[in-house]
């Protein structure tokens, strides 16, 4: 009786060198892939850890370098807002902008009612972000020596007091079928006095926006005014003088609010 070894095919023990090489290459590629995958996983873990550390460092820097602004005084000069700002915080306030939000004012039995000027049919008014820059001196602080080195900048450093900034107040009027455009306060009032036929008085909110050292944006309410008679010759300065100080009426106008007000152009729409 033949043994088990004798019953095997004649070529059972013959091995092709090419098959061995192919097997070794396959095993080698698998080991390389497995090693590279482990390295990639380690790199991803290190990257996530670094990102968390950077986020913590950024948050710590922001917490230790936050600006704290207060407004010493403000006034209008034609269509320009003039501000005196104190920064009692631990970091600079940069990229300072102002915003003026317009409201239609109506008088009812329960007191004045305010409707945002950027809502409704016909001509509406959005708000622009107006750059504020440093000035050497103004009539608000005639006794303050001018600091010519920082004129034109939009930064108030930590600890700086009575810093004078100004910027032209602009608004964005538009109506159905037209795009918003930036125009000075008085120019927009001329248009509104012609097109807001049922409006006799308006109100305004004034806000200031700025960023800290890590780019975080902050907003502050400066002042609000109501009972402003709408007229063809109304400037921003006259609006503050003729109006009455009021508590904050509404919120600042965000980019989403502004985008929602822009009328759709049928030529840019594809409904197919």
User: Could you tell me the pTM of the whole model?
Assistant: 0.70
Q: Same structural domain for residues 75 and 57?
A: no
Nearest to 124 by CA among 114, 116, 134: 116
Taking the CA atoms of 233, 236, 241 and 247 in sequence, report the sign of the dihedral they define: positive
Judged on CB neighbours under 10 Å (0-12, 13-18, 19+), 1 is exposed
Same domain, 90 and 181: yes
Strand order in the sheet with 170-174: 124-127, 170-174, 183-184
Residues 6+ apart with CB under 8 A from 195: 122, 123, 175
CA separation for the pair 252, 205 (Å, rounded) = 8
Q: What is the pLDDT of residue 118?
A: 81
Locus of tokens 């023990």: 13
57 with 74, same domain: the answer is no
Do 78 and 97 fall within a single domain? Answer: yes
Last residue of a domain, one of 64, 86, 121: 64
Do 102 and 204 contact (CB within 8 A), yes or no?
Answer: yes
Nearby residues of 40 by Cβ (< 8 Å), 6 or more positions away: none
Structural domain of residue 115, as residue ranges? 69-265
149, 42: one domain:
no
Domain-terminating residue out of 64, 94, 120: 64
Q: Are residues 51 and 91 in the same domain?
A: no
6 within some domain: no
Q: Report pLDDT for 263.
A: 42
Number of structural domains in the chain: 2
The reply to whether 51 and 105 lie within a common domain is no
Cα(113)–Cα(117) distance, rounded to whole angstroms? Answer: 12
Which of 64, 83, 99 terminates a domain? The answer is 64
pLDDT attached to residue 1: 55
Q: What is the pLDDT of residue 268?
A: 35
Rounded alpha-carbon distances, angstroms, from residue 125 to 53, 207, 212: 44, 16, 29
Residue 208 domain-assigned (yes or no): yes
Residues 76 and 116 grouped into a single domain: yes
Q: Is 195 helix (H, G, I), strand (E, B) or coil?
A: helix
- 38 alpha carbon, distance to own chain's centre: 41
Are residue 60 and residue 120 in the same domain, yes or no?
A: no
pLDDT below 50 — which residues of the chain? Answer: 138-139, 261-272
Same-domain status, 40 and 149: no
What digits encode the pLDDT tens for the residues 66-88?
Answer: 888 998 899 999 999 999 999 99
């Amino acid at each position: 009786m033949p043994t088990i070894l004798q019953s095997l095919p004649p070529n059972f023990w013959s091995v092709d060198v090419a098959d061995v090489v192919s097997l070794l290459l396959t095993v080698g590629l698998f080991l390389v892939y497995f090693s590279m995958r482990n390295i990639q996983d380690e790199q991803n873990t290190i990257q996530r850890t670094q990102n968390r550390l950077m986020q913590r460092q950024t948050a710590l820097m922001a917490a230790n370098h936050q600006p704290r602004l207060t407004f010493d005084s403000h006034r209008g000069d034609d269509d320009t807002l003039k501000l005196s700002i104190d920064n009692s915080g631990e970091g600079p306030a940069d990229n300072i902008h102002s915003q003026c939000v317009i409201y239609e004012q109506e008088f009812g039995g329960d007191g004045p009612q305010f409707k945002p000027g950027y809502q409704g049919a016909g001509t509406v008014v959005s708000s622009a972000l107006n750059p504020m820059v440093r000035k050497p001196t103004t009539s608000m602080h005639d006794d303050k020596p001018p600091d010519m080195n920082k004129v034109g900048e939009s930064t108030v450093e930590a600890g700086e007091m009575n810093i004078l900034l100004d910027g032209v107040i602009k608004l964005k009027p538009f109506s159905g079928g037209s795009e918003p455009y930036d125009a000075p306060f008085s120019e927009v009032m001329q248009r509104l006095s012609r097109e807001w036929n049922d409006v006799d008085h308006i109100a305004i909110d004034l806000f200031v926006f700025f960023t800290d050292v890590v780019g975080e944006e902050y907003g502050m309410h400066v002042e609000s005014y109501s009972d402003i008679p709408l007229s063809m010759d109304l400037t921003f300065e006259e609006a503050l003088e003729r109006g009455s100080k009021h508590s904050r009426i509404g919120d600042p106008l965000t980019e989403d609010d502004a985008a929602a007000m822009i009328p759709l152009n049928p030529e840019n729409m594809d409904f197919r």
